[in-house]
Amino acid sequence: MADVQTTNQSILVVGGGISGITTALEAAEAGYDVVLLEKNPYLGGRVTQLHQYFPKLCPPSCGLEINFKRLKANPRIRFFTMAEVAGISGKEGDYDVKVKISPRYVNEKCTGCGKCAEACTAEVDNPFNYGMDKIKAAYLPHGFAFPMRYVLDPSIVGTDDGKKCKDACQYDAIDLDMKETSFDLKAGAIVWATGWNPYDAAKVEYYGFGENKNVITNVMMERMASMNGPTGGKIVRPSDGKEIKNIAFIQCAGSRDENHLAYCSGICCVASLKQTRYIREQYPDCEVTVFFIDIRALDRLEDFYTMVKEDQKVKFIKSKIATITEDGATGNLVLEGENTNTGEQIKATFDMVVLATGMAPNSIKSVCSADVSCDEYGFIANDPAKAGIYGAGCARRPTDVASSVQDATSSALRAIQSIARR
């Protein structure tokens, strides 16, 4: 069991994405003790799964590595991976929190040598690549995982594979008897930075996601374009691995729709614009068509939109595509809908389609027993009448990294003020 000494002057941050990391760093650098909990086996959240950041198109590892260094250098922050809140009681300035830690089956002696993965024969769906490929059941979650420590999938514990992994480890780092543990801590304020999930594209039935193999989502495109993704960075058709000549993006796939996400996620237009760049860099002759309701690229991101519009190979058509049908023989996709500007019917064929799905909040209602205000969609509202527990980043609203960081900084300040009031 972890030995975690905290007081009602400490701050608990739940969620180790860019927002949670920022909140933790800002609070710790202002002199407060912070405990940071992350349910994944690594920190960094969804940003780690992006290929490049807009608008500068730099790799996400740039910004994250600086933050990981600050985190390691600051003794005021204690972080736990595979950790979740099991219960909260108390009030502003005096919370009692139960934390549960799921077994990783690998301890801190792990050097990341990879011998366990070599010995392991079992494979599991790779969650980091949204199940587009398989990974050994003894795995490093991704290339620049922090902490750089392997994980064993629970399915191999008690099997020959589990034993093989343990035997292969020369550092006594594998503990097949590891169990779920828990510990209690005290906190004066709590920040939920639990982020977002991609909206489930299968719910938008008329696009046949899951049945039409060459229909993917925007988050899958990020992985496909990444060097450490399922195709080693090559954007190809999932059904047959062919290079693409003609690709469509469908904006607002399930967004701004009362039957799905009624709101605009604000960033998926720019994400698609960014992804047109990934495609055009790999395929100088590929035609790209973006079907949109309206393109939302605000402030400095307008320049990015202007730059993409100048590309003769990228076409923008105002339309809400109604259906996608797969041609069984070729795997090509036939899109039908109406051009909203001209009233003309659209029937066009593409090699591959990307659904620009929106961002849904990771609901905290099932894990947070304390009284927290959420809006009608499940995003946390910082209600002044319920001080002591705050949201940060995409747990509060769908947004980009820069705004998440700003919001996280103000959440750190709110948490500090909360402690100072008591």
Ligand X SMILES: Cc1cc2nc3c(=O)[nH]c(=O)nc-3n(C[C@H](O)[C@H](O)[C@H](O)COP(=O)(O)OP(=O)(O)OC[C@H]3O[C@@H](n4cnc5c(N)ncnc54)[C@H](O)[C@@H]3O)c2cc1C
Residue 21 beta carbon to ligand X: minimum distance, rounded to whole angstroms: 7
* Strand arrangement of the beta sheet that strand 215-217 belongs to: 215-217, 352-355, 246-250, 287-292, 314-318
CA quadruple 265, 266, 272, 274: dihedral sign: negative
Give, as ranges, the residues between 353 and 382 that touch ligand SF4 (CB under 6 A): 356, 358
Q: Is 178 in the site for ligand SF4 (CB under 6 A)?
A: no
Strand locations in 273-313, DSSP E?
Answer: 287-292
The total of other beta-carbon atoms located within 10 Å of residue 306's CB is 11
* Among 252, 314, 352, 389, interactor with ligand SF4 by CB under 6 A: 252
Largest CA distance in the chain: 69
Q: Which does 32 bind (CB under 5 to 8 A by kind): ligand SF4, ligand X, none?
A: none
CA distances from 156 to 16, 137, 208 (A): 27, 7, 34
* Among 168, 236, 367, 402, interactor with ligand SF4 by CB under 6 A: 168
- The residue ranges that bind ligand X (CB under 6 A) are 14-20, 37-40, 45-47, 50, 53-54, 84, 193-196, 218-219, 222, 267-268, 271, 274, 359, 362, 367, 393-394, 399-402, 404
Nearer to ligand SF4, 114 or 233 (CB): 114
Segment interacting with ligand SF4 (CB under 6 A) among 47-55, 262-270, 337-345, 400-408: 262-270
Residue 44 beta carbon to ligand X: minimum distance, rounded to whole angstroms: 7
Q: Is 221 in the site for ligand SF4 (CB under 6 A)?
A: no
Residue 220 beta carbon to ligand SF4: minimum distance, rounded to whole angstroms: 16
DSSP 5-37: ---TT-EEEE--BHHHHHHHHHHHHTT--EEEE
Q: Is 318 in the site for ligand SF4 (CB under 6 A)?
A: no
Percent helix, strand and coil across the chain, each rounded to 5? 25, 25, 45
The total of other beta-carbon atoms located within 10 Å of residue 158's CB is 10
Is residue 338 exposed (0-12), middle (13-18) or buried (19+ Cβ within 10 Å)?
middle
* Among 82, 113, 348, 381, interactor with ligand SF4 by CB under 6 A: 113
CA distances from 39 to 83, 229, 389 (A): 5, 22, 19
CB contact at 8 A, 12 and 35: yes
Segment interacting with ligand SF4 (CB under 6 A) among 32-40, 105-113, 200-208, 404-412: 105-113
Residues 269-308 as x/- pattern, contact with ligand SF4 by CB under 6 A: x-----------------------x--x------------
CA angle 113–114–116, rounded 5-degree value: 120
Give, as ranges, the residues between 232 and 251 that touch ligand SF4 (CB under 6 A): 251
Binding site for ligand SF4 (CB under 6 A): 106, 110-116, 150, 168-169, 171, 173-174, 251-252, 255-256, 264-269, 293, 296, 356, 358
